[in-house]
Amino acid sequence: MNSFCMERPLSGDHELVLGGYGQVAKALRDGIHPDGKYKRPLRDVRLGHVVTKISRPAGAAAAGGAKRGAVCKVYVKNQKKPIEAHVVLCTLPLGVLQHGDVAFEPKLPPFKQSAIDNLGMGTENRVAMLFDPADVFWPEDAHFLRPVRGRYTFANLHALGLTGVLCAWVRAKHIEEVEAMTDVEAFEDVMSTLRSMFRERVVQPREYKVTRWSQDPFSRGSYSYVPVGAFKVRIPYTGPHTTAFAW
């Protein structure tokens, strides 16, 4: 538990990034600096490219790295020619790495593969609902609504700036049960919980969205954690010439 904030609760107010984290990617693409000026926009942003394999040049893992001019290659689904680069920064989710959706050539060293295999990947799903602002029937100022029983607890995003949005969080022990439901079944189950809490005041939302992070091939979960029995190991850094292409 020493790696989780529940032992040392975070101070301060609950906050929400209005507009979503997509704004960060957009700012990087456009080269927007915090001071509002445009500086070094990313020249090549490719969406809809599903990576299947990443290879590094021969000798990249040896002291001094690969020979000058050698490149890494990124293979993409339904694309014959790989994308070439001097360096590949891999930020794949742990769940994707554990599932083996992307191959590495040569294979990852044992100490890294062992870390991937032994970390845990968890899931926490949502049923987000958008109501008309005039139809808000729950307490508007409370950040969380926590019924004593049931499959869900509720985050009041309306209080955090997302007008009319109430989000049901699926409780951990019910994750698989709710993921097995259809969208309509999950939504109706949430609405049934709300009716038990607010009776006749409950109205239908304008729209809703159900997440299933463990089934998403581009995430295969929603958070990583250190499981019971695992431990941290520090890998010593022996200088800038240890490897030019770190696996």
Which residues lie below 8 Å from residue 137, measured CB to CB, with a gap of 6+?
131, 198, 201, 202, 203
Higher pLDDT, 20 or 131: 131
Give bridge partners of residue 84 from the DSSP assignment: 73
Q: 106 preceded by cis ω (within 30°)? A: yes
Q: pLDDT-derived band of residue 234, with 50, 70 and 90 as boundaries?
A: low
Which residues lie below 8 Å from residue 229, measured CB to CB, with a gap of 6+?
none
Q: What is the DSSP letter of 21?
A: T
* Arithmetic mean of pLDDT, 27-40: 71
Q: What is the DSSP letter of 73?
A: E
Q: How far apart are CA 90 and CA 87, in angstroms?
A: 10
**Contact call for residues 174 and 185 (beta carbons, < 8 A):** no
**Contact call for residues 101 and 221 (beta carbons, < 8 A):** no
Which residues lie below 8 Å from residue 144, measured CB to CB, with a gap of 6+?
153, 154, 155, 156
Structure tokens at 82: 């790989």
- Where do the DSSP E strands lie in the chain? 51-55, 72-76, 83-85, 103-105, 120-122, 126-130, 144-145, 152-156, 165-170, 207-210, 223-225
HEC per residue, 123-173: CCCEEEEECCHHHCCCCCCCCEECCCCCCEEEEEHHHHCCCCEEEEEECHH
What pLDDT does 130 receive?
Answer: 98
Tens of pLDDT, residue by residue over 115-144, are 999 999 999 899 999 999 999 999 999 999
What pLDDT does 30 receive?
Answer: 79
Q: How far apart are CA 103 and CA 170, in angstroms?
A: 33
Q: pLDDT-derived band of residue 228, with 50, 70 and 90 as boundaries?
A: confident
What pLDDT does 26 receive?
Answer: 82
**pTM, whole model, 2 decimals?**
0.75
Q: At residue 59, does pLDDT exceed 70?
A: no
Q: How far apart are CA 225 and CA 238, in angstroms?
A: 28
What pLDDT does 241 receive?
Answer: 39
Tens of pLDDT, residue by residue over 158-203, are 998 899 999 999 999 999 999 999 999 999 999 999 999 999 999 9
Q: Which DSSP helix (H) or strand (E) runs through 112? A: helix 110-118
Nearest to 188 by CA among 112, 129, 235, 125: 129
Range in 6-20, 102-116, 180-194, 213-227 with the lowest mean pLDDT: 6-20
What pLDDT does 19 receive?
Answer: 84
Range in 39-48, 152-161, 168-177, 232-241 with the lowest mean pLDDT: 232-241
The position carrying tokens 């997509």 is 22
Q: At residue 13, does pLDDT exceed 60?
A: yes
Backbone angles phi, psi at 103, to 5 degrees: -85, 150
Cα-Cα-Cα-Cα dihedral sign, residues 226, 228, 230, 231:
positive
Percent of the chain with pLDDT over 70: 80
